[in-house]
Amino acid sequence: MTAAWRAATAPRWMIAGEWHAHPVRIATAVIAIAIGVALGFAVHLVNASALDRFARGLATVNGGADLRIETTSRQGIGENLYPRIARLPGIAAASPVVVLHARIGGMPVDLLGLDALRAAQVTPTLLPRPGAGDPMAVFDPQSLFLSHAALAGHRVGERIIVVVDGRAQSFTIAGSLPGAQARALGMIDIAAAQSRFARLGTIDRIDLKLAHGADTGRIRATLNAALPPGAILAGTADDADRTDALSRAYRVNLDMLALVALLTGAFLVYSAQALSVARRGPHFALLRVLGADRRMVTGQVLAEGLVFGVIGAAVGIGLGLGIAMLVLRLVGGDLGSGYFSAGDVPPLVFAPGAAAGFAALGIATALIGSLVPARTAARIAPAVALKNLGDAIDPRRTPAILPAVSLAGVGVAAALMPAVGGIALFGYLSIGLLLAGGVAAMPWLARALLAPLARRHFVSPAIELAVRRLWGAPSQAAVALSGIVASVGLMIAMAVMVASFRGSVDEWLGQILPADLYLTAGGDAPFDPTAQRALAGVAGVRHVVFSVQRPIALAPDRPALALVVRPDAASAYPSLGRRIAAPPGRIGIGVSEPAARLYQLAPGATVALPLGGHRVLAFVTGIFRDYARQAGAIAIDSTTYDQLTGDTHRGDAAIDIRPGADPATVIAAIHRRLPPLIADTIQILPVAALRQRALAIFDRSFAITYGLEAVAILVGLAGVAATASAQTMARTREFGMLRHLGVTRRQIVAMLGIEGALLGLVGGIAGVGLGCGVAQVLIRVINPQSFNWTMDTRTPLGLLAGVVLALIVASAITAMLAGRSAVSVDAVRAVREDW
Amino acid sequence: MLARLLAMLALLGAAAPPAPFAIARPGAAFAFPRDHGAHPEYRTEWWYVTGWIDGPGGTHRGFQVTFFRTATGLAADDPSAFAPRQILFAHAALSDPAVGHLLHGERIAREALGLARASRADADVAIDDWTLRRLPDGRFVTHVAGDGFALDLAFRPTQPVLAQGDHGYSRKGPDPRDASRYYSVPHLAVSGSVTEQGSVTTVTGNAWLDREWSSTYLMPGAVGWDWTGLNFDDGGALMAFRIRGADGGTLWAGGTWRAPDGASTVLGPHDVAFTARHRWRSAGTGAAYPVDPLLRIRLPGGVRTLPLAPLFPDQELDGRAGGSPVYWEGAVTTPGARGYLELTGYAGPLKL
d(C-alpha A601, C-alpha A622), whole Å: 9
A136–chain B nearest CA distance, Å: 7
User: Quick count: other Cβ atoms within 10 Å of Cβ B309?
Assistant: 15
d(C-alpha A175, C-alpha A140), whole Å: 12
Q: How much is the pLDDT for B17?
A: 44
| Residue B339 within any structural domain of the chain | yes
Residue B110 has its nearest CB partner, among A117, A141, A200, at A117
Q: Taken in order A465, A467, A471, A476, is the CA torsion positive or negative?
A: positive
- Closest-CA residue of B relative to A195 is B80
Q: Identify the band that residue A448 occupies on the pLDDT scale cut at 50, 70 and 90.
A: confident
d(C-alpha A633, C-alpha A513), whole Å: 17
Tell whether B115 is within 8 A of chain A (Cβ).
Answer: yes
Q: Identify the band that residue B15 occupies on the pLDDT scale cut at 50, 70 and 90.
A: very low
Tell whether A201 is within 8 A of chain B (Cβ).
Answer: yes
- More confident site: A478 or A770: A770
Contact between A175 and A186 under an 8 Å Cβ cutoff? The reply is no
Q: How far is CA A19 from CA A14, A33, A328, A821, in A?
A: 9, 17, 36, 19
Q: Which domain holds residue A649?
A: 522-681
Mean of pLDDT over chain B = 90
- More confident site: A443 or A548: A548
Contact between A378 and A294 under an 8 Å Cβ cutoff? The reply is yes
pLDDT in tens, A590-629: 999 989 988 888 898 999 888 877 888 999 998 988 887 7
Phi-psi region of A566 (alpha: psi -120 to 50; beta: other; left: phi over 0): beta
| Residue B350 within any structural domain of the chain | no
d(C-alpha A754, C-alpha A733), whole Å: 19
pTM: 0.69
pLDDT at A381 over 80: no
Q: Identify the band that residue A2 occupies on the pLDDT scale cut at 50, 70 and 90.
A: very low
| Residue B333 within any structural domain of the chain | yes
From A229, A257, A289, the end of a domain falls on: A229
Q: How far is CA A255 from CA A36, A38, A45, A425, in A?
A: 10, 11, 11, 12
| Residue A11 within any structural domain of the chain | yes
User: Quick count: other Cβ atoms within 10 Å of Cβ A163?
Assistant: 23
pLDDT at B12 over 80: no
Specify the number of domains making up chain B: 1
Which of A115, A139, A208 to probe the B interface (max B CBs under 10 A)?
A139
| Residue A742 within any structural domain of the chain | no
Please indicate, yes or no, whether residues A37 and A85 belong to a single structural domain of this protein.
no
CB contacts of A189 in chain B (<8 Å) are: 82, 84
| Residue B158 within any structural domain of the chain | yes
Q: How much is the pLDDT for A324?
A: 78
d(C-alpha B136, C-alpha B122), whole Å: 10
Top mean-pLDDT range of A210-224, A550-564, A670-684, B25-39:
B25-39
Specify the number of domains making up chain A: 3
From A681, A696, A711, the end of a domain falls on: A681
d(C-alpha A454, C-alpha B10), whole Å: 101
Mean pLDDT of A764-785: 88
| Residue B352 within any structural domain of the chain | no
Contact between A186 and A146 under an 8 Å Cβ cutoff? The reply is yes
| Residue A718 within any structural domain of the chain | no
d(C-alpha A68, C-alpha A233), whole Å: 6
- More confident site: A663 or B350: A663
Contact between B169 and B25 under an 8 Å Cβ cutoff? The reply is yes
Q: Do residue A120 and residue B1 have CB atoms under 8 angstroms apart?
A: yes
Residue A139 has its nearest CB partner, among B11, B72, B128, at B72
Please indicate, yes or no, whether residues A50 and A83 belong to a single structural domain of this protein.
no
d(C-alpha A524, C-alpha A680), whole Å: 12
Cβ-Cβ contacts under 8 Å between A and B: the total is 87
From A364, A389, A414, the end of a domain falls on: A389
Q: How much is the pLDDT for A729?
A: 67
Contact between A192 and A98 under an 8 Å Cβ cutoff? The reply is no
Q: Identify the band that residue A704 occupies on the pLDDT scale cut at 50, 70 and 90.
A: low
Tell whether A96 is within 8 A of chain B (Cβ).
Answer: yes
pLDDT in tens, A55-84: 666 666 666 677 888 887 777 889 999 999
Residues paired with residue B3 on neighbouring β-strands, in sequence order? none
* Nearest alpha-carbon partner for A581 in A570, A595, A592, A596: A570
pLDDT in tens, B141-193: 999 998 889 999 999 999 999 999 999 999 988 888 889 999 999 999 999 99
d(C-alpha B232, C-alpha A144), whole Å: 54
| Residue A140 within any structural domain of the chain | yes
Tell whether B75 is within 8 A of chain A (Cβ).
Answer: yes
* Nearest alpha-carbon partner for A87 in B167, B250, B127, B109: B127
Backbone angles phi, psi at A187, to 5 degrees: -140, 135
Contact between A275 and A25 under an 8 Å Cβ cutoff? The reply is yes
pLDDT at B318 over 90: no
Q: How much is the pLDDT for A293?
A: 79
d(C-alpha A822, C-alpha A815), whole Å: 10
Q: How much is the pLDDT for A507?
A: 87
Q: Which residues of A588-602 are buried (b: 16+ CB within 10 A; e: fewer)?
A: bbbbbbbbbbbbebe
d(C-alpha A630, C-alpha A819), whole Å: 54
Mean pLDDT of A10-21: 65
The Cβ-side half-sphere exposure at A763, using a 13 Å CA radius, reads 36
CB contacts of A86 in chain B (<8 Å) are: 115, 128
* Nearest alpha-carbon partner for A529 in A517, A516, A546: A546
B208: domain CATH number is 2.40.370.10
Please indicate, yes or no, whether residues A316 and A169 belong to a single structural domain of this protein.
no
Q: How much is the pLDDT for B7?
A: 43
Mean pLDDT of A746-773: 86
Please indicate, yes or no, whether residues A551 and A637 belong to a single structural domain of this protein.
yes
* Nearest alpha-carbon partner for A491 in A777, A704, A710, A698: A710
Q: How much is the pLDDT for A4?
A: 43
Please indicate, yes or no, whether residues A115 and A51 belong to a single structural domain of this protein.
no
CB contacts of A116 in chain B (<8 Å) are: 5
pLDDT at A102 over 60: yes
d(C-alpha B333, C-alpha B95), whole Å: 14
| Residue B349 within any structural domain of the chain | no
Q: Do residue A117 and residue B108 have CB atoms under 8 angstroms apart?
A: yes
Q: pLDDT over 90 for what percent of chain A?
A: 11
Please give the helix or strand (H or E) that residue A511 lies within, else none.
Answer: helix A474-512
pLDDT in tens, B73-123: 888 889 999 999 999 999 999 999 999 999 999 899 999 999 999 999 999
B55–chain A nearest CA distance, Å: 30
pLDDT in tens, A565-579: 988 876 777 778 888
Q: How much is the pLDDT for A714?
A: 67
Residues paired with residue B46 on neighbouring β-strands, in sequence order? B68, B212
| Residue A210 within any structural domain of the chain | yes
d(C-alpha A834, C-alpha A733), whole Å: 7
Tell whether A136 is within 8 A of chain B (Cβ).
Answer: yes
Q: Please name the amino acid found at residue A587.
A: I
| Residue B47 within any structural domain of the chain | yes
B78–chain A nearest CA distance, Å: 7
B67–chain A nearest CA distance, Å: 16
Please indicate, yes or no, whether residues A55 and A102 belong to a single structural domain of this protein.
no
* Nearest alpha-carbon partner for B127 in B140, B146, B111: B111
Q: Do residue B80 and residue A194 have CB atoms under 8 angstroms apart?
A: yes
| Residue A495 within any structural domain of the chain | no
Top mean-pLDDT range of A147-151, A454-458, A559-563:
A147-151
Q: How much is the pLDDT for A391?
A: 47
- More confident site: B117 or A530: B117
B277–chain A nearest CA distance, Å: 38
> Which letter does DSSP use for residue B282 in this model?
P
Q: Do residue B74 and residue A134 have CB atoms under 8 angstroms apart?
A: no
Tell whether B74 is within 8 A of chain A (Cβ).
Answer: yes
| Residue A12 within any structural domain of the chain | yes
Q: Please name the amino acid found at residue B335.
A: P
pLDDT at A795 over 60: yes
Please indicate, yes or no, whether residues A531 and A645 belong to a single structural domain of this protein.
yes
Q: Which domain holds residue B256?
A: 2-23+32-344
Mean pLDDT of A179-201: 89
| Residue B209 within any structural domain of the chain | yes
Q: Do residue A191 and residue B75 have CB atoms under 8 angstroms apart?
A: yes
Please indicate, yes or no, whether residues A208 and A266 belong to a single structural domain of this protein.
no
Any idea what the Cα angle at residue A651 is, between residues A649 and A655, rounded to 5°? 115
Tell whether A86 is within 8 A of chain B (Cβ).
Answer: yes
pLDDT in tens, B225-273: 999 999 999 999 999 999 999 888 999 999 999 999 999 999 999 999 9
A191–chain B nearest CA distance, Å: 5
> Which letter does DSSP use for residue A126 in this model?
G
Please indicate, yes or no, whether residues A590 and A553 belong to a single structural domain of this protein.
yes
Q: How far is CA B11 from CA A41, A173, B222, in A?
A: 56, 21, 14
Q: Please name the amino acid found at residue A737.
A: M
Contact between A362 and A316 under an 8 Å Cβ cutoff? The reply is yes
Please indicate, yes or no, whether residues A111 and A258 belong to a single structural domain of this protein.
no
Please indicate, yes or no, whether residues A80 and A200 belong to a single structural domain of this protein.
yes
pLDDT at A342 over 50: no
Please indicate, yes or no, whether residues A291 and A368 belong to a single structural domain of this protein.
yes
Contact between A763 and A488 under an 8 Å Cβ cutoff? The reply is yes
| Residue A755 within any structural domain of the chain | no
pLDDT at A288 over 90: no
Q: Please name the amino acid found at residue A218.
A: R
Give contacts of A 279-308 with B, CB under 8 A: none
